[in-house]
Each structure stands twice: as structure tokens, then as C-alpha cells.
Amino acid sequence: MTATDMFWIFIKTFIVVNVLMLHVAYVVYFERKVIGHMQARLGPMRVGWHGLLQPIADGIKLFFKEDIIPSSADRAVFYLSPVIGVIAAISSLAVVPLWEGFSIANLNIGILYMLALSSIGAYSVILAGWASNSKYSFLGGLRSSAQVISYEISMGLSLVGVLMLAGSANLSDIVRAQSDAWFILYQPLACFVFVMSAIAETNRAPFDLPEAETELVAGYVTEYSGMRFGLFFMAEYAGMFAMSALGTICFLGGWSGPDFGIFAHVPGIVWFLLKVYGCIFFYFWIRATLPRYRYDQLMDLGWKIFIPLSLANIVVTGLVKILWK
């Protein structure tokens, strides 16, 4: 690898990491505003114009807040857990093409890479629950492990139909395969299963059982404070961005947009981010609309409904491809 190649990898990494950090800072503000208006209130208003400086104030507060560590905690694992989650979430974006020809690494197995890192991110929650030496944290970690096993399977199976249509696991190739029509038109059932599984994978409402405050105080983050709590927050919202980006690439055409009139001149990154934030808005909409599932309902939904639906979708897609030929 030449010095020029190393330089461009550094520039791409700098762009992706900064886009992600800006996202993490202001998507929390976006969520508070969206849910506030859905509930007939204003959301953040006091720090800056319409509360625009609230994320900065929250970051400063978390940075200087006292970092309390339980005396009986496993300190090494307690320190390492939030770092694993952040690194896994950020690293997953290395293969995401923000526009035509732009990605840090153009892997032939991009989908498998992102699914693998989303699974590694679950270790952050599991280890945090175990290392805290608290029954509430431990139960939250156990719930997360079962949740990941259940919904990682249905998420992976839901993407098999996309791979069959695109003929490649490379994310850029999948986007190019949707030049005529987005895969959501051919794979609506797979898209539905993927979206629901992604919500469960990122521990978001109504599948936020690992941190259910109604019975587990705050679940796996009960014993965390200060910047370590902030790292878990960062990992959660970075994971939302990664899952939304994967859904955008696999079902919504990635960076592609209408190729007529003034729309043809809109940069690909604009279309990509509009679709990603549309998916993230759906996260917020679901949170403001649906109550939290019971744990047995969560397991039933994954094993008895989503996995059979994903398998049926694979069979139907295969039959249609055979008959189409």
C-alpha cells in the first residue's frame, strides 16, 4: 500500500468518524424534539436557540460528572465494556458507501462484516451487566444475550433475499443492483423483518428490555455514570446509524435518487443521509407510539414469527428467480 493510499484512507476515516460524532451529538436532540412534538410539548428550548446547544451542554456535563465504580465490580471488564460498544459501532461504518465510490474499505463481504460487528457490540452490554456485580445489571445483560441470539438470526435471514437479488454481498454492488427499482418493492416482507430485528438489535423501544426501567432500574447501565455512561449512549446511537445505513443500502437504493429534473443534480450523500434519517425518524416514531413488550412476547416474536417469515421469504424469492428465468 502506497503513501497516497494511506493518506486517502486517513481522509475517509476522518470524514466518516466526524459525520458519526456529529450524528451522535444531535440525533439525541432530534429525538427529544420529535417525541416532544408527538406528545404536544416543545422539547429542549433553553440552551441556545430552540435548545440547539443542549447536546454540547449534555456532553460537558457527562465529561465532568463523577465516575463512580462499585467496590465489588470487576474493574478491568467494567472499564472495557463501554469501549467495546463504541469501537464496534464506529468500525461497522468502515464498509458503508456514503456515495458512489466512497467507502473506507470496499469489502466483498460488507454485509457479513456489519452483521459481525453488530454482534460484537452486544458483548459490550453483556460484559457490562456481568462486571457491575449487580442483579439488575446482570439480568439486563442476560436479556441482551438472548435478544441478540434471537434477532441476529432473523436479521441475517431477512438479508438473504437481498443477496439473491443482487448476486453479491458487497454493499456498493447491492446499491448498483437497485438502479431500476429499490429492493423494498421486491422484498417488502424481508424489509419489515429487518426493520423490526434492527430495533431489537439496537435495544430500542419497544424492544428495550435490557434497560427496562420498570423492573431493572436501568438494566446493564445501572452502575455506570459520567463519561462511561456517555459511551454507552454513543454506542447506541451510532448503532442506530449503522443499522439505518444498512437498511438504506439493502432496501432503499443507498445513495441513488431520482434522475430527472433538478433531482438529478442532488449529490448522492444527500440522498443517502435523507434516507438514513428517515429510518432513524421511524425509530423515534415507534418509541413514541408502542408500549414495551414483555420478555416472553419478545422471544415469541423472534423465534415463532420473524424467523419463519424470513425462511418463507427465502423460499419464495428462490422460486420466483427460478420461474423468472
pLDDT at 168 over 80: yes
pLDDT value for 245: 94
Q: Is residue 21 part of a domain?
A: no
**The pLDDT of residue 283:** 92
Tell which wins on pLDDT, 210 or 267.
Answer: 267
214 pLDDT band, cuts 50/70/90, is low
- pLDDT for 1 equals 65
- Model pLDDT, residue 182: 93
Find which of 109-113, 188-192, 219-223, 320-324 is predicted with most confidence, using mean pLDDT.
188-192
What is the distance between the alpha carbons of residues 41 and 197, in angstroms, rounded to a whole number?
A: 30
Establish if 139 belongs to a structural domain: yes
CB 186 within 8 A of CB 324: no
pLDDT at 155: 92
pLDDT at 305: 93
**38 belongs to a structural domain:** no
Q: Can you tell me the distance from the alpha carbon of 171 to that of 192, in angstroms, rounded to the nearest whole number?
A: 19
The pLDDT value given to residue 325: 66
Count other C-beta atoms under 10 Å from residue 310's C-beta.
23
DSSP state at residue 102: B
Which range in 29-33, 232-236, 259-263 is most confidently predicted, on average pLDDT? 29-33
State the burial class of residue 9 (Cβ atoms within 10 Å of its Cβ: 0-12, 13-18, 19+).
Answer: middle
Lowest-confidence pick of 2-16, 107-121, 168-182: 2-16
- Kindly state whether residue 202 falls inside one of the protein's structural domains: yes
Query: Does 250 fall in a domain?
Result: yes
CB 151 within 8 A of CB 200: yes
Instruction: Write b or e for each residue in 17-44: b if 16 or more Cβ atoms lie within 10 A of its Cβ, otherwise e.
Output: eeebeebbbebbbbbbbbbbeeeeeebb
> Rounded to 10 degrees, what is the CA torsion of 17, 21, 23, 29?
180
Q: Rounded to 5, what percent of the chain is helix, strand, coil?
A: 75, 0, 25
At 33-57, the pLDDT tens digits run: 999 999 889 888 888 888 989 988 9
* pLDDT tens-digit series, residues 281-313: 999 999 889 888 888 888 899 899 999 999 999
46 Cβ partners below 8 Å, 6+ apart?
54
Q: Do 182 and 252 touch, CB atoms closer than 8 A?
A: yes
Nearest to 137 by CA among 219, 79, 231: 219
Would you state the pLDDT for residue 164?
92
Q: How confident is the model at residue 4 (pLDDT cuts 50, 70, 90)?
A: confident
pTM here? Answer: 0.91
Would you put residue 48 in left (φ > 0), alpha (ψ -120 to 50) or beta?
left
Give the count of domains, the chain: 1
Phi, psi for residue 99 in degrees, rounded to 5: -155, 175
Residue 200 belongs to domain spanning: 65-324
> Quick check: is 42 in a domain?
no
Whether residue 189 lies inside any domain: the answer is yes
Q: Within a 10 A sphere around the Cβ of 293, how many other Cβ atoms?
A: 18
What's the DSSP call for residue 213? H
Tell me what the mean pLDDT of segment 11-37 comes to. 85
Residue 75 lies in a domain: yes
